[in-house]
Amino acid sequence: MTPTIKWAIALLMGATIFRAQTILFLPQVQMFGGIAPDGWFGPWLSDTIIGFTLPVMVYLFWTRRSVAVWGVLVAYNAVGAFDYSQGLITQIISPMPVEMASAATVHIGIGLFMCLQLVALGLLFRSDVIGAFKGHR
């Protein structure tokens, strides 16, 4: 794996750290007295968990080499991309109030970060990246 690919994967994953800020949105769901539909509770909770797990994943990517670590990284990025797709679906079913964000902002933001996560996932499937993780036990 070239240094460029290694940095690209780390930066693409790292860019999704913003999902950790959704912990601040949780009190905004209606069940807690906020203005956001309750449908956002699941996506925001999973975003929070995935966001706080990110530093561990980047650390593992940067420092450890094994098939198990590669598998964890693939699973993490796949779940992260799936979670973003759930946010897009939630925006369609239970739109976020415009007081929090416009529909365009939500769609563009979630869509962009989902693409970053998918590109990171795709790079993890490059033969040289897989080889780097298989070569060290």
Low-confidence ranges of the chain (pLDDT < 50): 137
pTM: 0.89
Q: Domains of the chain: which residue ranges?
A: 3-134
- Give the pLDDT of residue 1: 87
User: Which DSSP symbol is given to 29?
Assistant: B
**Is there a contact between 123 and 12 (Cβ–Cβ < 8 Å)?**
yes
Closest CA to 13 of 66, 63, 50: 50
How far apart, in whole angstroms, are the C-alpha atoms of residue 73 and residue 76? 5
Q: What tokens does 103 get?
A: 């529909």
